[in-house]
């Protein structure tokens, strides 16, 4: 018996719909929904343990997986089973986690899992845009202590019009693409990339997406109401001691304010704050610490946070002594590493990134193999954040989700400035060597300089900046180039990358409700001033891309050849191309244009001579002599009936120069006229209709000898006595009369 199913439908306004259904699948989960648009179906389940974990944080896991069966495909690799999540899946997990996590109570520490999986794929639907909707809808059906429903939506601008949850085809035509996460009254998360847009245009896109999100939230609430809203579960809430909190505040606040106002370095103020904390602890007796010592640390941290925030709001000063719009000192350097194709160092305050660039062929493209998308990236960036960059020692467990997310943001900020006709596959790697505030934006700046150092012809240089916001409702301060500490104590942190012309990428996490769009636009404009200041430091170091790649870096030349010549260039079993690569010291890659079906030949090599040799071979392969034209040839082989000559301008292209075309006089021996290695001109006559072979002539370019008499052409019947043997006389009447009849070999 099929259980009762509850369903709500969201109209996207352009003929498309999203449905949310519950009651049929995964009923033992604390909440489960199936979200569907077209043939795309996501199953989301949520479970949270009833027992609090013995930790002081929320152990929330958001897991998003795309099943290959959803697209009717097998997983790649030797083991035909989905394994570790792809970067695309990790990025979707981060997008959902960033919106959900702040809405759980700070004292809720139960192990919680949100699992979203793609069960059916539709080429016209991008599933990750519905992951946040699915997660929130499932939570609304549970008994979790969760502040309010949220949703996420992708917004793009196609031909000047905003579109919600566009298709991948529409996305390719857009100049703006962002994922927005919001509740009904507040925007909470923004992440995306743009084609050098203005701050006002970005705000308009956020507003448009927020209106669509409100509709999705209303559908969730209707579904929960129809299904039967559960009572919120009870859990062991955090102990509150207001007297203790006030006592610690009075002991610590003024001291923390004074330390924050000194404008010291990270190490100095960390030590000073730690000393105040120890003084606070020392003010309590052993009995008091035994009774409520577990609350002291949290109350002290709250007092420290309040002091630092008040310093900024009341005096406009920050932890390191800067004003709110002041950028830390910057120094840059390019061409630091001698063996890389491009390198740079970008240092801003106590944050430092070392970037390298490697140039390759299409064979080096980053392959993306997901059920929802297959493709290649010819520009990609990898970001590494080792423990030593923050002065820590911790286990190394492979690439973290944070590294994937920060690298993706930097990549999105830069990729729009890589020209479409860049012949290379470009890989940028950022090694974060020091970190105290926005190493991802330092990566953008270092990446820009390394790309220009490598000779990549960027449209315009890109810079990035991390911003913060502190507000108490009546007052607010926008902070440029935030520190790591300011990232935690602020009400909004956002990162913006862009050129002198506009924004190329952004990432925002907004922690306060009802942030006005006026404040948002003002914050973005202050970010623009900071970006341009940093951009000036970059261009002072390297003003334009290098004219050419470095001497040890590979040069890239691309040629197109007709489809019918691809096989000849490769040769049987790849023999021709392999020998060519070995002889010239180059790497040759041949792809086929899916539209024109032409061959695209990529030639990569450090020595120009080797590249030129490959180009000469291609020119030779494509060489087609024109009828009536004169060409210089070289004798490469001697035969009894002529000489094999090679076109000088197209080595490898050979043609037979018949003995009768050597000279006007009768030539008995070929060597009487030409010898091996001789170079001379011949005239090309095209294909001889009689021999069906190409015909060239040396004598046609020579003057006729005096008294030369042209030999009369032979007549068709000058072979007398052969009439009865001609092809037209094959009747049996010509059989010899005296021929005896055939006798049977075997008698009965």
Task: Indicate the annotated binding residues for Mg(2+).
Answer: 487, 493
Distance (Å, whole) CA 261 – CA 277: 17
Judged on CB neighbours under 10 Å (0-12, 13-18, 19+), 52 is: middle
Distance CA 490, CA 496 (A): 17
Residue 627 exposed, middle or buried by CB count within 10 Å (0-12, 13-18, 19+): exposed
473 conformational bin, left if phi > 0, alpha if psi -120 to 50, beta if neither: left
Sheet bearing 555-561, strands edge to edge: 555-561, 599-605, 587-592
Answer whether 557's CB lies under 8 Å from 606's CB.
Answer: no
User: What would the two tokens of residue 650 be?
Assistant: 């197209």
Distance linking the first and last C-alpha atoms of the chain: 88
The tokens for 570 are 């490769």
Annotated binding-site members:
487, 493
Cα distance between residue 333 and residue 341, in whole Å: 15
Structure tokens at 535: 């951009």
DSSP tag of 485: H
Question: What is the pairing mode between strands 161-164 and 476-480?
Answer: unpaired
* φ, ψ dihedrals at 294, nearest 5°: -70, -15
Q: Strand locations in 650-723, DSSP E?
A: 654-658, 679-687, 694-697
Question: Which tokens go with 746?
Answer: 């075997």
Interhelix angle 131-140/87-100, nearest 10 degrees: 40
| Residue found by looking up tokens 């000489």 in the block | 643
Label residue 608 exposed, middle or buried (CB < 10 Å: 0-12, 13-18, 19+).
exposed
Q: Is 564 helix (H, G, I), strand (E, B) or coil?
A: helix
Angstrom distance (rounded) from CA 256 to CA 230: 44
Give the strand pairing for 176-183 and 161-164. Answer: unpaired
Tokens of 643: 């000489």
Q: How many whole angstroms separate alpha carbon 53 and alpha carbon 55?
A: 6
Neighbour count for residue 143 (Cβ, 10 Å): 16
Cβ neighbours around 44 below 10 Å, total: 29
In contact, 508 and 492? CB cutoff 8 Å: yes
Q: Furthest-apart CA pair in the chain: how many Å?
A: 143
Handedness of CA 256, 258, 260, 264 (dihedral sign): negative
Question: Residues with Cβ < 8 Å from 229, sequence gap 6 or more?
Answer: 140
| C-alpha to C-alpha distance for 420 and 195, rounded to whole angstroms | 14
Distance (Å, rounded) from C-alpha 203 to C-alpha 157? 13
Are 658 and 670 in contact by the 8 Å Cβ rule? The answer is: no
CB atoms within 10 A of CB 673: 17
């Amino acid at each position: 018996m099929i259980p009762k199913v509850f369903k709500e439908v969201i109209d996207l306004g352009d003929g498309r719909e999203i449905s949310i259904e519950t009651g049929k699948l995964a009923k033992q989960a604390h909440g489960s929904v199936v979200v569907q648009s077209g043939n795309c179906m996501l199953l989301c389940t949520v479970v949270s343990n009833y027992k609090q974990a013995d930790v002081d944080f929320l152990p929330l896991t958001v897991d998003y997986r795309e099943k290959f069966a959803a697209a009717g495909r097998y997983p790649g690799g030797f083991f035909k089973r989905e394994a570790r999540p792809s970067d695309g899946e990790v990025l979707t997990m981060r997008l959902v986690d960033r919106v959900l996590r702040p809405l759980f109570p700070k004292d809720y520490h139960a192990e919680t899992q949100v699992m979203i999986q793609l069960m059916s794929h539709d080429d016209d639907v991008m599933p990750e845009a519905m992951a946040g909707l699915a997660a929130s809808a499932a939570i609304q059906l549970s008994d979790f202590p969760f502040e309010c429903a949220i949703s996420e939506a992708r917004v793009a601008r196609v031909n000047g019009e905003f579109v919600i949850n566009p298709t991948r085809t529409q996305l390719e035509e857009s100049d703006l693409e962002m994922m927005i996460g919001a509740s009904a009254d507040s925007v909470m998360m923004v992440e995306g990339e743009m084609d050098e847009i203005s701050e006002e245009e970005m705000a308009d896109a956020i507003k448009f997406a927020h209106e669509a999100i409100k509709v999705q939230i209303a559908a969730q609430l209707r579904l929960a109401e129809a299904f039967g809203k559960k009572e919120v579960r009870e859990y062991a809430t955090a102990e509150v001691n207001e007297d203790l909190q006030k006592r610690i505040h009075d002991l610590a606040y003024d001291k923390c304010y004074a330390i924050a106002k000194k404008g010291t370095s990270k190490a100095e103020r960390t030590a000073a704050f730690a000393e105040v904390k120890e003084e606070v602890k020392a003010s309590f007796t052993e009995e008091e610490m035994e009774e409520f010592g577990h609350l002291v640390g949290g109350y002290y941290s709250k007092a420290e946070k309040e002091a630092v925030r008040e310093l900024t709001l009341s005096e406009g000063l920050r932890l390191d002594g800067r004003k709110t719009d002041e950028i830390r000192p910057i120094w840059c350097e390019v061409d630091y590493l001698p063996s890389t194709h491009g390198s740079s160092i970008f240092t801003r305050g106590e944050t430092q990134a070392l970037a390298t660039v490697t140039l390759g062929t299409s064979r080096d493209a980053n392959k993306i193999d997901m059920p929802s998308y297959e493709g290649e990236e010819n520009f990609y960036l990898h970001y590494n954040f080792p423990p030593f960059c923050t002065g820590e020692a911790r286990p190394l467990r492979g690439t973290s989700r944070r590294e994937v997310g920060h690298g993706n943001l930097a990549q999105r900020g830069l990729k729009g400035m890589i020209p479409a006709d860049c012949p290379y596959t470009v890989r940028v790697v950022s090694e974060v060597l020091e970190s105290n505030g926005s190493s991802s934006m330092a990566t953008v700046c270092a990446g820009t300089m390394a790309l220009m150092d490598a000779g990549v012809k960027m449209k315009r240089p890109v810079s990035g900046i991390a911003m913060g916001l502190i507000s108490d409702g009546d007052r607010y301060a926008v902070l440029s180039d935030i520190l790591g500490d300011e990232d935690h104590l602020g009400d909004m942190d956002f990162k913006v990358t862009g050129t002198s012309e506009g924004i190329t990428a952004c990432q925002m996490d907004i922690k306060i409700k009802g942030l006005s769009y006026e404040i948002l636009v003002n914050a973005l404009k202050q970010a623009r001033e900071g970006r341009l200041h940093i951009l000036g430091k970059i261009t002072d170091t390297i003003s334009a891309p290098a004219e050419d790649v470095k001497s040890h870096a590979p040069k890239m030349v691309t040629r197109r050849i007709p489809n019918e010549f691809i096989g000849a260039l490769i040769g049987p079993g790849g023999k021709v191309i392999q020998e060519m690569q070995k002889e010239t010291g180059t790497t040759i890659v041949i792809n086929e244009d899916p539209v024109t079906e032409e061959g695209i030949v990529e030639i990569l090599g450090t020595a120009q001579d080797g590249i030129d040799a490959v180009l000469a071979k291609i020119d030779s392969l494509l060489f087609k002599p024109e009828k009536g034209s004169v060409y210089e040839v070289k004798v490469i082989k001697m035969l009894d009936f002529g000489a094999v000559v090679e076109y000088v301008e197209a080595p490898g292209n050979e043609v037979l120069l018949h003995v009768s075309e050597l000279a006007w006089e009768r030539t008995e021996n070929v060597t009487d006229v030409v010898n091996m290695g001789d170079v001379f001109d011949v005239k090309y006559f095209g294909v001889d209709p009689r021999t069906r072979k190409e015909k060239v002539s040396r004598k046609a370019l020579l003057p006729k000898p005096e008294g030369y008499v042209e030999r009369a052409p032979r007549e068709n019947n000058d072979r007398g006595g052969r009439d009865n043997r001609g092809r037209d006389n094959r009747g049996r009447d010509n059989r010899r009369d005296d021929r005896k009849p055939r006798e049977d070999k075997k008698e009965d």
